[in-house]
């Protein structure tokens, strides 16, 4: 069962979480505000109600997880979205990250390879009422050529390499944030498609994501 009530207690816990993220170095007030406003417990089973605002990942079914709030904040901050940006997210999962992005005023195109997670999001009434998010079932390695090019691309699963088809779907000057690596941990990277057609790769902290897998799971 999904919780549907946002109580004072939840709001208080969110405030504490925001303070924690700030003390861990998240400095974008926009990102902190988004995390302070979005009811993360809605994205989890009610069994997790009391711990939904701890800075940790939780299972969402199909062996997948909702990312740590710190990871969501970190990736969102690195992506540095502007209002009305067109953003592709690979790995919808619980859709929490998609809602964080949409709350920043961007148009989100999010793609998930697990049919059951995609279907669960279609049944999630509150989510379907959130504006600015389009949901797709497919393989994120392919991106969404029909809707390309994108201002920004965010990958929320561990990519074995920088996916070339996604680079091709970035606008000139566009930015992609992704964890790269095949071991237990991956390095967060920010790839900029420079106007002169070269790629600039910046490297950041280590994180631990579920793997980005090719093909679809029915
Ligand atoms: N952004 C999510 C994080 C989910 S974990 C959230 O906020 O909850 C990563 C997700 O990426 C999983 O749901 C997994 O099924 C999905 N995934 C992995 N490889 C993928 C691919 N090639 N295309 C689309 N989704 C993928």
Contact of 169 with 88, CB cutoff 8 Å: yes
Which protein residue has the closest C-alpha to ligand 1 atom 18? Answer: 212
Q: Which residue has the tokens 């793997």?
A: 211
Predicted confidence band of residue 50 (pLDDT cuts 50, 70, 90): confident
pLDDT in tens, 13-27: 999 999 999 999 999
Counting residues of the chain whose pLDDT is more than 90, the rounded percentage is 91
What's the whole-number average pLDDT of the chain?
96
CA 197 to centroid of ligand 1, rounded, Å: 28
pLDDT in tens, 58-70: 999 989 999 999 9
pLDDT in tens, 88-142: 999 999 999 999 999 999 999 999 999 999 999 999 999 999 999 999 999 999 9
What was the pLDDT predicted at 54? 92
Q: Which residue has the tokens 């592709």?
A: 88
Q: Establish whether 103 is a catalytic residue.
A: no
CA–CA dist 130, 201 (Å, integer): 33
pLDDT at 196 over 90: no
**Residue 15, phi then psi, degrees to nearest 5:** -65, -40
Residue to mutate, 93, 136, 216, ligand 1, most ligand atoms under 8 Å from C-beta: 93
- Which atom of ligand 1 is closest in space to residue 217's alpha carbon? 15
Cis geometry, peptide bond prior to residue 205 (ω within 30 degrees of 0): no
Residue to mutate, 40, 108, 109, 113, ligand 1, most ligand atoms under 8 Å from C-beta: 113
pLDDT at 1 over 90: no
Give all domains of the chain, ordered by start, each with its CATH number.
8-207 (3.40.50.150)
85 closest CA partner among 71, 104, 67: 104
Contact of 80 with 175, CB cutoff 8 Å: yes
Continuous segment of H or E residues that includes residue 109 = strand 107-112
pLDDT at 71 over 90: yes
CA 210 to centroid of ligand 1, rounded, Å: 8
- Ligand 1: residues whose CB is within 6 Å? 64-67, 90-91, 93-94, 96-97, 111-114, 117, 139-141, 156-157, 210, 212-214
Over residues 173-191, the mean pLDDT reads 97
Q: Kindly state the DSSP code that residue 134 receives in the 8-state scheme.
A: E
The SS3 of residue 173 is strand
């Amino acid at each position: 069962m999904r919780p549907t009530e946002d109580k004072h207690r939840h709001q208080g816990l969110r405030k504490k979480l925001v303070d924690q993220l700030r003390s861990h170095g998240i400095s974008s007030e926009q990102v902190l505000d988004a995390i302070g406003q979005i009811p993360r417990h809605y994205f989890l089973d009610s069994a997790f109600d009391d711990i939904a605002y701890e800075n940790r990942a939780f299972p969402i079914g199909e062996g997948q997880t909702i990312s740590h709030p710190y990871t969501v904040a970190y990736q969102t901050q690195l992506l540095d979205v502007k209002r009305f940006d067109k953003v592709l997210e690979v790995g919808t999962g619980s859709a929490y990250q998609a809602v964080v992005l949409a709350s920043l005023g961007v148009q989100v195109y999010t793609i998930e390879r697990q049919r059951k997670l995609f279907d669960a999001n279609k049944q999630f009434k509150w989510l379907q009422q959130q504006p600015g998010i389009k949901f797709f079932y497919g393989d994120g390695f392919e991106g969404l050529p029909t809707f390309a090019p994108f201002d920004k691309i965010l990958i929320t699963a561990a990519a074995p390499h920088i996916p070339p088809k996604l680079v091709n779907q970035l606008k000139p000057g566009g930015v992609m944030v992704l964890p790269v690596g095949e071991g237990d941990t991956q390095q967060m990277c920010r790839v900029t498609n420079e106007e002169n057609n070269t790629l600039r790769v910046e490297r950041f902290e280590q994180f631990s994501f579920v793997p980005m897998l090719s093909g679809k799971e029915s």
